[in-house]
């Protein structure tokens, strides 16, 4: 089953570059979409869209602080999943000796 990737809307700002770096450092797969592409499409400029922004299954996150909170929540979620996996492995290992 394919996992849905968040869409990162960026522009040429330092904020966007920092967010891209943070996604990469945290090994979060994402789809990058430059805001200029909106202007080139049939829809024209989207005045309510601000870069950087993230559109994900968990919601829409605008500005650097909210996106950082989103990244931190993903890290916590992954950490909890890793702990659950470790506990399952340990439990299975202990059971194997009975």
Please write the tens of the pLDDT for every residue from 48-89. Answer: 678 899 999 999 999 999 999 999 999 998 888 888 776 666
Contacts of residue 50, defined as CB under 8 A and 6 or more positions apart, other chains included, come to 62, 63
Q: Does the CA dihedral 68-70-71-72 come out positive or negative?
A: positive
Please report, for the domain that includes residue 66, its CATH number: 3.40.30.10
Question: Which band of pLDDT confidence, cut at 50, 70 and 90, is reported for residue 41?
Answer: low
The pLDDT of 29-53, averaged and rounded, is 76
30 burial via Cβ count (<10 Å: 0-12, 13-18, 19+): middle
Judge whether 2 lies within some domain. Answer: no
Look at residue 1 and tell me if it is in a domain: no
pTM recorded for the entire structure: 0.71
Closest CA to 62 of 21, 30, 15: 15
34: in domain? yes
In a domain, 71, yes or no: yes
Provide the mean pLDDT of the chain: 83
Range of the domain at 59: 7-95
Give me the residue label for tokens 């994900």. Answer: 56
| Number of independent structural domains in the chain | 1
């Amino acid at each position: 089953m394919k996992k849905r990737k968040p869409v990162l809307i960026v522009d040429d700002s330092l904020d966007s570059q920092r967010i891209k770096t943070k996604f990469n450092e945290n090994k979060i797969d994402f789809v990058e979409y430059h805001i200029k592409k909106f202007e080139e499409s049939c829809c024209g400029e989207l005045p309510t869209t601000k870069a950087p922004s993230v559109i994900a299954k968990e919601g829409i996150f605008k500005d650097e602080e909210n996106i950082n909170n989103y990244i931190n929540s993903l890290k916590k979620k992954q950490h909890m999943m890793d702990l659950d996996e470790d506990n399952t492995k340990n439990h299975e290992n202990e059971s194997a000796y009975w």
